[in-house]
Structure 1
């Protein structure tokens, strides 16, 4: 009830507007939000349970899949609960510290997610092009170290975003036209110069993610070159089957992410509720689809799910 009495002029609080223009439909919008979130949680926790329970799945590929599942749990969890509080209870207030914390956590995990996709592409390259050396090149310990390095990279690149925002002056207008603390949405309500914030956001979007995509493309380029040297169609099919799930996950993640980022920064002529909905769905749809994609495309996971269903 406290949040209902907060005003935008409160010096320590921001006010979320939710989805401007669709306030009357907030209750209805919350239904798919909650459904997508719950389905995503169930799917990703199922992956974690299966890999943790089954010794035969204690391999680098499935360790990477667990890392992906953890990021797919963390990303929507940093956004959806607050969005549902706005939709259901009109709890729109958030402190400056809470806003910057949410922003840092969300985007650090998002960059980590991209790094995991790069490592998964490298994993597929080794599995297809150097299968005899796979166990020596990619051990579980090495995958864990790569994951830790990816986390450090994410923290170092994302930390300047909340730090830069913390230096901006905010006047009386502290209303964020969003459901979460999106950096550019917060920067736009500042009464200071946000050129540096805009530029750094674009650097993250194009340089960091762009480099990750370049390494992924390099891995798949080497995979295709190796496959062209093999005449067996059966070997081609087997190799491509091992990459299908990863390719689907990449397309879902990078396409929605880039589209949402570009619309939010170059939003002339686009209704606010359109890019806010797209931004929110970007944090909901890929985490929901990823465990489904891997469950359908990965035979070992499919078999383990079937085994536990038969026991019930």
Structure 2
């Protein structure tokens, strides 16, 4: 009799071993089945093989239920952070209060001074070995805006004026460059510019045969922008000049609104090698400026 009980018990153990418990619930089921087998074996009563097979099935069902109740872990997407309204303390860009004449004369900007953004371009951002300080290349820029245009007056200090290029290669010479992000919060964390980011160049020309002109480098290259631009300089020692420009907002593909914030940086490109097409250095008001990385640009907020 005991031999028979042992054999049947081994059969049950073999059946249940095919579905080894892996969860707390299935383990409890197996323990209960084993307890009933042990109790019946100790009583000396014959073990019902049908009941034994049924109890072994409970073990398998418990394990199968446990497998179904334990779903595979799912990949949880990383939430996109909500962009702030600006990257650094924004600069206020006031609305123009004077009817400005584009003639590169400071007189009307003197009247506009109280209602304009004044920024100094003295931080070297490119070609440090070719920049000999603020007397080599630096500047002061005044800005204001209307519903139709962005107005700019730049006073540039330059020890030698060199501009041998026009159009899309004007950056290889003395000029003023401006980058503008018209969708600041839409791609706030993107470190590579896209179609809502614009780069333009305002070239003073060479003051001999090349006229002042505007060009767009990004997103689509375009020469002869519809920009009203005038530049003047006093001939003599040094290459300093004044440049005034009226840039339609359409150049930046935006419709400006008071209270809105945008990305902006202005830089001076400098070349001191006569007869050559080079961009040797740049200075800006944006510390650490990388032209193609909008996260290095400052924030301006239109007021008025």
TM-score (norm 1): 0.22
Indicate the structure with greater strand content.
2
TM-score (norm 2): 0.22
By relative contact order (CA 8 Å, sep 6+), the higher-ranking structure is 1
The structure whose Rg is larger is 2
